[in-house]
Each structure stands twice: as C-alpha cells, then as structure tokens.
Amino acid sequence: MAGLYIHIPFCKQACHYCDFHFSTSQNLKDDLVNALCMEIEMQKNYLERETIDSIYLGGGTPSLLSSHHLQGLFDVVNKNFITNNPEVTLEANPDDLTKENLAALKAVGINRLSIGIQSFDDEILKFLNRTHSSNDAFLCLERAREAGFDNINIDLIYAIPGQDSDLLKNNIKKAVAIAPEHISAYSLTIEERTVFGKQMKKGIFAIEPEEVAASQMEILMNDLSTVGYDQYEISNFCKPGFYSRHNSSYWQQKKYLGIGPSAHSYNGLSRQSNISNNSLYVKSITQGKIPCQVEVLTTANRINEYLFTTLRTVWGCDLKYLLKQFSYDLLKENQQALDTLLNHELVVITNDILMLTQKGKLLADKIASDLFAAE
Ligand code: SF4
C-alpha cells in the first residue's frame, strides 16, 4: 500500500512561525488546480501500480478549495490510481469550516479532518497571527461532528512564548473536552524566513529555552495518556485505533507520491522534491515537465532515515530489519554509543526492538543522531 499527498499552496494570511510553501495571493488557484490534475496524470506510474490506501491534502490551506476543485482532483486520482478504501484527510483552518463547507467536504469523500487549532487562547492565536479565534475552534468541531466527521485531528503548538505551563494545561483540558480522535502537538520552532525568524535576528523575539519545551512536552505526554490517548509517535497522540494511516506510512518507509509545488515523493530508493514556486510550477507542468530534483539515497541515508523515524514511534527500530535490509548490525557498528544510551536509560532493547524510554522521548532527535551510520 502507498500514499498520495497533494499540496495546496494558498493561505489567507501568513502565520508568524510558518515555513511551509504557500502564497497569500489566490489568483493562480484555478491554474494551479489544473496543473495538479496534469501532474497526477504525469506521475501515474511513480508508485508502480501499488494500491493507494491514504490520500492527504495538505498545505497551505486545502480548506480554501471549492468542492468543484476537490471533485476534479479526486476524479483524476481515481482515473489514474488504484485505491482501496483510502483514508482521505484534508487539512483545514477552523474559520473555513462552515456548515455548507463541511457538507461539501463530506460529499466529495473527505473522511478525516486535520484542523489547525494550535491554541485555545485568543491572545496566543493573535500572537501567532492565526485567522481564527478560540470560539471558531469550538464551533468548527461541533459543526464537523454534526456533518458526520468521526475521525478528526487537531494540531496544537507548545513552547510558545507567553503560553506557560498553566496555559498549556488549560489548552489540553479544552482539547480533551472536544474529544478529537487524534492530537498532533509540535514545539514552536523558528525558521529564518518567517516573521518570528526575522524578529529573532533583530533581537526582538526569543524562543523558549530547551528545558521549557521539554517540560511542556512532558505535560502533554502525561495529561494526554491519563485520559486515554496513545502517544504512538513523539508528536502524535490518538484514541485507540485512530492512528493516522498517512503519517504512519511515512514512518514505516512506505512509498508515497507528492503532487504540487514543494511536494516530496519517495519510492524506496530515491526522494524527489518539486519546485517551491507556484507560477514556475504551473508553467513547467503545462509544458509537460515535472519541475523536481531527485536525490538518490545512499545505504547510509536509508539506514539513518529508518533510525530517525522509527525511533520516534511506538513500534520502535527493528534491529533484525536493519540487518536483513541493509546488512547493518547496529549492536556491533555503534556499540559504544548504544551502551551509553542504555546505561543512561534513554533507550531499551526488547526482542530486538530498540525503543526510547519516557526520558529518551525528550531527546529523540539527539539519540537518533548518536546512532547514525557513517557515510
Ligand atoms: S500554519 Fe497553515 S495556515 Fe498558517 S501560514 Fe502555514 S500553512 Fe498557512
């Protein structure tokens, strides 16, 4: 089974922290959707006829598309790919989810919503330059349930300056009260070309210290597990059985095809990424050329990606798989680093599966890089 990602690169306004590819001008919307349909046709053999079990519309803000646009995209997908009862997720902002919009999304086949709530505090939402209020967040959840959506993710952000641990706890309570099936929680990171990045360069914005981010992550882990959410990946929590099929496929090294500007694809041996520019993307596609760069992965790349992604998950890193797939014996190749991590109780090995401990989860990226294979 494989995944299909479609990038919708438009937003109403730029959030101060966001480094994704999007444009706040929607002039090119019709042309871009036409180009997406053309690229789907052009890429129909990328997955070598593997069946698709998840389709993900991300962005940007896919909830800015009309049902006419969405239906057009799904028609082309169904004409060119074999699908099997796919999970079909659409990323949405709360202020786009009107009653009429939700009914239209349901009618075209969206069966999972991923809603960018980020915080339930109006001051924090303003600080982040979000377009919605906390009231919009509550209302859109109610309306989504009324429209029949029974698989909903909400995104939250922690380690935001001004959102202290009490405010975070309050946010978690509010999130739990609206009972989404899935919660993704990300630490605020600062990227150079964002408003926060520019303010940081001028010295008028400071990120929270690492200890604050770690202690807020601990709060999330504790508070969400107490009320029955499984932390199946460092940043992802769900009610039993509601794993995101799409995200899990990334972590399980399944193949996926990314359509649209800035979208990435992976076929097991290489990664390719499309140009992050809407007009150049449309121009190239209409000339029959996919504007992408291809990176052929080395064995060390593939080992390290496997380590990095699987260590973050509840399924852990399978040492036998590493040996079988890459002839890489982690126990021998990186014995010293592994011993140190075991002695510090940051990882455990059970039945040849290497996993992070609760303490290790707070240092996941550093631990993975300590274990990376050399090029
Ligand atoms: S966070 Fe989402 S809504 Fe905000 S600018 Fe980025 S893609 Fe757009």
Q: Which two tokens stand for residue 309?
A: 């992604």
Residue 263: predicted pLDDT? 98
> Is the CB of 60 inside a 6 Å radius of any atom of ligand 1?
yes
Return the half-sphere exposure (C-beta side, CA atoms, 13 A cut-off) of residue 130: 28
State the DSSP code for 23. Answer: B
Query: Rounded distance, CA 44 to CA 38, Å?
Result: 10
> Is the CB of 195 inside a 6 Å radius of any atom of ligand 1?
no
Residue 184: predicted pLDDT? 98
Q: Which two tokens stand for residue 2?
A: 């494989």
Return the ligand 1 atom nearest residue 131 CA: 3
Return the ligand 1 atom nearest residue 13 CA: 5
> Is the CB of 11 inside a 6 Å radius of any atom of ligand 1?
yes
> Is the CB of 178 inside a 6 Å radius of any atom of ligand 1?
no
Return the half-sphere exposure (C-beta side, CA atoms, 13 A cut-off) of residue 62: 27
Query: Rounded distance, CA 100 to CA 98, Å?
Result: 5
Residue 375: predicted pLDDT? 80
Ligand 1 centroid, distance to 344 Cα (angstroms): 39
Contacts of 272 (CB under 8 A, 6+ apart): 264, 265, 292, 293, 294, 295
Ligand 1 centroid, distance to 61 Cα (angstroms): 7
Element (H, E) at 58: strand 52-59
Query: Rounded distance, CA 207 to CA 213, Å?
Result: 10
When computed from its CA atoms, the radius of gyration of the chain, rounded to whole angstroms, is: 21
Ligand 1 centroid, distance to 247 Cα (angstroms): 19
**Collapsing DSSP states into helix, strand and coil, what is residue 373?**
coil
Ligand 1 centroid, distance to 11 Cα (angstroms): 6
182-187 and 264-266 beta bridge pairing: unpaired
Sheet holding 2-8, edge to edge: 230-233, 236-238, 182-187, 152-158, 112-118, 83-92, 52-59, 2-8, 256-259, 264-266, 270-274, 292-296
Ligand 1 centroid, distance to 212 Cα (angstroms): 24
Ligand 1 atom 2, closest CA: 60
**pLDDT tens for the 375 residues of the chain, in order:** 999 999 999 999 999 999 999 999 999 999 999 999 999 999 999 999 899 999 999 999 999 999 999 999 999 999 999 999 999 999 999 999 999 999 999 999 999 999 999 999 999 999 999 999 999 999 999 999 999 999 999 999 999 999 999 999 999 999 999 999 999 999 999 999 999 999 999 999 999 999 999 999 999 999 999 999 999 999 999 999 999 999 999 888 899 999 999 999 999 999 999 999 999 999 999 999 999 999 999 999 999 999 999 999 999 999 999 999 999 999 999 999 999 999 999 999 999 999 999 999 999 999 999 999 988
Return the ligand 1 atom nearest residue 116 CA: 2
Q: Which two tokens stand for residue 191?
A: 């990227």
> Is the CB of 260 inside a 6 Å radius of any atom of ligand 1?
no
Query: Rounded distance, CA 307 to CA 223, Å?
Result: 28
Q: Which two tokens stand for residue 111?
A: 């069966």
Site to probe by mutation for ligand 1, drawn from 22, 91, 160, 184 as the one with most ligand atoms within 8 Å of Cβ, is 22
Ligand 1 centroid, distance to 111 Cα (angstroms): 22
> Is the CB of 61 inside a 6 Å radius of any atom of ligand 1?
yes
CA angle 294/295/299 to nearest 5° reads: 150
Query: Rounded distance, CA 239 to CA 183, Å?
Result: 9
Return the ligand 1 atom nearest residue 129 CA: 4
Ligand 1 centroid, distance to 371 Cα (angstroms): 33
Ligand 1 centroid, distance to 325 Cα (angstroms): 38
Site to probe by mutation for ligand 1, drawn from 11, 96, 156, 194 as the one with most ligand atoms within 8 Å of Cβ, is 11
Return the ligand 1 atom nearest residue 60 CA: 7
82 and 237 Cβ atoms separated by less than 8 Å: no
> Is the CB of 212 inside a 6 Å radius of any atom of ligand 1?
no
Ligand 1 atom 7, closest CA: 60
Residue 157: predicted pLDDT? 98
Give the pTM: 0.96
Return the ligand 1 atom nearest residue 118 CA: 1
